[in-house]
Structure 1
Amino acid sequence: MGGYSTVVVGTDGSETSFRAVERAALLARDSDALLVIACAYVPERPDPHTQDVLRDEAYQVTGSAPADDTVSRARDLAVKAGATKVEPVAVEGKPADTLLRVVKERNADLLVVGNRGLNTLAGRIIGSVPLDVVRHAPVDVLVVHTT
């Protein structure tokens, strides 16, 4: 099997998602592939009590850090890891849907996500990005152990 030509990686601004970005950057570097770093966002104000109740899992409900800052920081990490062709994109929408849309729009052949949320109560109740993309992605998916 040859290398990949376009790799999409998702980030929500969390440290664990940045570990997935670093792994995707290494793969993109080794394959001389374009690395598309995608951050989904929902432009609405979260309920201030959500963070108190869900704590570390609140990102699944409230969205990520400001998207432009998130993809900028992720781009810097990817370049530091050796990726030479990096395209950061902030896209409005739910994380799993957004990642799948970016994969299709960019004709990607690999999607990389972290495993955050796979083995949590919140992940089982409201779903997790890794599980959703593995179920629906039309391309290879690498789930990086980040937690």
Structure 2
Amino acid sequence: MFKRILVAVDGSKSALAALEKAIGLQQLTDAEIYLLCVYKHHSLFQASLSIDRPPGMDIPDKVLSEHAKELVEHAKLQAAERGATNVRGFVKAGRPSSVIVEFAQDKEADLIVIGSRGLHGDKGAMFLGSVSHRVASHAKCPVLVV
């Protein structure tokens, strides 16, 4: 059924629920799980914040990249604790919805599992967050929104 399941992780409760579903599917199908955390890229101009940075202050991309790596490692540990095997983690920069869809195509994912709402999911009356909505609308493979 599924050979490669992509799970988008961002540290939200919704992403954890998506990971739980993916683990359950893996136990049924023996699929490989790809964990992907996408952080928003900042240009050098944006990173400069139009002022001089104090010594030792990292640019936003570096800080966000490190945090994204920590989120992926945390998700890998959670997956292992729940019995998941064959789990790989990835970190990418860019617009989350676009990167998730492109990554799924590049890795030939059979399924994308994504939380319905991200870190700012408690705001507004929409059923889906903007990222999950865009991914579901543009992905070439099935998308399970949790």
TM-score (norm 2): 0.74
| Aligned twin of 1:9 | 7
> Which amino acid letter does the alignment assign opposite residue 38 of structure 1?
L
Asked whether the equivalents of residues 8 and 37 of structure 2 are also in contact (C-alpha less than 8 Å), the reply is yes
Counting only pairs closer than 5 Å after superposition, residues 18-57 of structure 1 correspond to structure 2 as 18-44=16-42
> Which amino acid letter does the alignment assign opposite residue 107 of structure 1?
E
Asked whether the equivalents of residues 109 and 140 of structure 1 are also in contact (C-alpha less than 8 Å), the reply is yes
1:101 equivalent in alignment to 2:99:
no
Runs of 4+ that moved beyond 2 A:
42-45, 117-124
The structure in which a higher percent of residues are helix is 1
Task: Give the CA RMSD over aligned residues.
Answer: 2.6
> Which amino acid letter does the alignment assign opposite residue 139 of structure 1?
C
Match of 2:124 among 98, 121, 126: 121
Q: Note the residue ranges of structure 1 that are not aligned, 5 or more in a row.
A: 48-62
Asked whether the equivalents of residues 26 and 82 of structure 1 are also in contact (C-alpha less than 8 Å), the reply is no
TM-score (norm 1): 0.74
Q: State the alpha-carbon separation in 2 of the partners of residues 97 and 123 from structure 1.
A: 20
Q: State the alpha-carbon separation in 1 of the partners of residues 66 and 19 from structure 2.
A: 16
Q: State the alpha-carbon separation in 2 of the partners of residues 123 and 94 from structure 1.
A: 20
| Aligned twin of 1:83 | 84
Q: State the alpha-carbon separation in 2 of the partners of residues 119 and 109 from structure 1.
A: 29
1:142 equivalent in alignment to 2:140:
no
Q: State the alpha-carbon separation in 2 of the partners of residues 22 and 28 from structure 1.
A: 10
Larger Rg: 2
Q: How many Å apart are 1:42 and its aligned residue?
A: 2.2
Q: State the alpha-carbon separation in 2 of the partners of residues 94 and 20 from structure 1.
A: 20
Q: How many Å apart are 1:24 and its aligned residue?
A: 1.0
Relative distance call for 1:70 and 1:33 in structure 2 (3 A) is: same
Q: How many Å apart are 1:93 and its aligned residue?
A: 1.0
- What is the total number of aligned residue pairs between the two structures? 124
Relative distance call for 1:31 and 1:128 in structure 2 (3 A) is: same
